């Protein structure tokens, strides 16, 4: 269990409930099964999977949680086809097509008829609370998905002041300076092989480089023409590969050999013990990375 894409929220100084109280509150927002006439259901599930009931797994001040979603897949075209068939039958019988109000009623009836037959797609989003650094870390760079986790925490606790992480100044300025060589790259970072450049005066102009030497002359020329770095591939302390963007989201996380070697070979203790070990190691390493990013970019209070 390694997180791959991170959206980070800063928590304000409000005291967080103890684990026992947090579990109790989350229990009130446990994900229900999607009913036959429900298009969507959301709530907390076990981070260990469907065969477990515990909603929270805590290791050394890091609380692992999971948000589960169920969604009935009902393509609009299917509903429209049923409505069109019924509208055609009404027109043939009455001699005139149904009006807007009648078509709305037909659409509602079609949804009632078709929803119970629709396939259900399940998804799970992992996240954790870092109590020491007061962060909520969500394993997704989708604003909608990440905010759904924060929203459910607010619903469960009544108040959960999570604010998307921001910097004191525009991160793209420092990212651009690093890539252009105008500012030295910190000693514990090295360039990766991916970047995205944007023209600040033309949001439609995007240059993407992947699997390339980021010190190449072609990249330099784009920077000289005024383009700014919106995403930059980095390697932190020879331990974590990532792509950092101008919104301080972390993409394409890779936990490198120095970390993987700490886990060693599976010892037969079972899936839960394996997850526990990975989570403990991952959160420790990410805490080091977050602290460095805070030092470099200045996380806004």
What is the pLDDT tens value at each position of the chain, 301 positions in all? 799 999 999 998 778 889 999 999 999 999 988 888 888 899 999 998 877 778 999 998 999 999 999 999 989 999 999 999 999 999 898 988 989 999 999 999 998 899 899 999 999 999 999 999 999 999 999 999 999 999 999 999 999 989 999 999 999 999 999 999 999 999 999 999 999 999 988 878 899 999 989 999 999 999 999 999 999 999 999 999 999 999 999 999 999 988 888 876 666 666 677 888 889 999 999 999 999 999 999 998 7
Same domain membership, residue 194 and residue 109: no
Which pLDDT does position 266 carry in this prediction?
Answer: 60
Same domain membership, residue 134 and residue 269: no
Of 1, 5, 10, give the one whose Cα is nearest residue 167.
10
Same domain membership, residue 189 and residue 233: yes
Same domain membership, residue 255 and residue 145: no
Domain residues for the domain of 93 are 76-115
Longest dimension (CA), the chain: 79
Same domain membership, residue 238 and residue 194: yes
Same domain membership, residue 11 and residue 144: yes
Which pLDDT does position 60 carry in this prediction?
Answer: 87
CA distance 91 to 292: 68
Same domain membership, residue 260 and residue 141: no
Residue 2, domain member (yes or no): no
Asked if 43 contacts 32 with a C-beta cutoff of 8 angstroms, the reply is yes
Which pLDDT does position 34 carry in this prediction?
Answer: 87
User: Roughly what angle, to the nearest 10 degrees, separates helices 143-157 and 19-27?
Assistant: 100
User: Roughly what angle, to the nearest 10 degrees, separates helices 271-297 and 171-180?
Assistant: 90
Same domain membership, residue 158 and residue 25: yes
Residue 1, domain member (yes or no): no
Same domain membership, residue 277 and residue 206: yes
Residue 182, domain member (yes or no): yes
Same domain membership, residue 229 and residue 83: no
Same domain membership, residue 248 and residue 104: no
Residue 106, domain member (yes or no): yes
Which pLDDT does position 261 carry in this prediction?
Answer: 83
Which pLDDT does position 265 carry in this prediction?
Answer: 64
Same domain membership, residue 225 and residue 87: no
Number of domains in the chain: 3
- pTM, two decimals, is 0.88
The strand pairing partners of 235, in sequence order, are: 190, 241
- Identify the helix (H) or strand (E) that includes residue 112: helix 100-114
Q: State pLDDT tens for residues 77-117.
A: 999 999 999 999 998 989 889 899 999 999 999 988 998 99
Which pLDDT does position 269 carry in this prediction?
Answer: 66
């Amino acid at each position: 269990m390694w997180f791959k894409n991170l959206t980070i929220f800063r928590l304000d100084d409000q005291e967080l409930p103890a684990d026992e109280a947090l579990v109790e509150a989350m229990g009130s927002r446990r994900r229900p099964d999607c009913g036959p006439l429900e298009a969507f259901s959301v709530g907390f599930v076990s981070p260990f999977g469907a065969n477990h009931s515990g909603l929270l797994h805590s290791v050394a001040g890091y609380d692992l949680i999971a948000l589960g979603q169920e969604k009935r897949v009902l393509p609009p075209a299917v509903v429209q086809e049923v409505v069109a068939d019924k509208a055609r039958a009404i027109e043939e019988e009455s001699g005139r097509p149904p009006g807007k109000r009648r078509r709305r009623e037909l659409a509602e009836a079609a949804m009632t008829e078709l929803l119970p037959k629709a396939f259900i797609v399940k998804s799970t989003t992992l996240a954790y609370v870092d109590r020491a650094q007061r962060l909520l870390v969500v394993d997704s760079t989708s604003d909608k998905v990440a905010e759904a986790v924060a929203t459910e925490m607010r619903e469960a606790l009544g108040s959960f002041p999570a604010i998307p992480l921001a910097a004191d100044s525009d991160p793209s300025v420092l990212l651009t300076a690093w890539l252009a060589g105008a500012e030295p790259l910190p000693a514990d970072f090295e360039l990766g092989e991916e970047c995205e450049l944007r023209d600040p005066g033309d949001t439609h102009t995007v240059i993407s480089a992947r699997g390339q030497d980021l010190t190449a002359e072609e990249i330099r020329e784009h920077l000289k023409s005024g383009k700014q770095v919106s995403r930059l591939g980095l390697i932190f302390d020879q331990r974590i590969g990532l792509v950092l963007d101008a919104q301080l989201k972390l993409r394409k996380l890779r936990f490198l050999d120095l970390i993987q070697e700490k886990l060693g070979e599976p010892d037969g203790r079972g899936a839960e013990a394996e997850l526990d070990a990975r989570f403990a190691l991952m959160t420790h390493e990410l805490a080091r990375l977050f602290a460095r990013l805070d030092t470099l970019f200045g996380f806004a209070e």
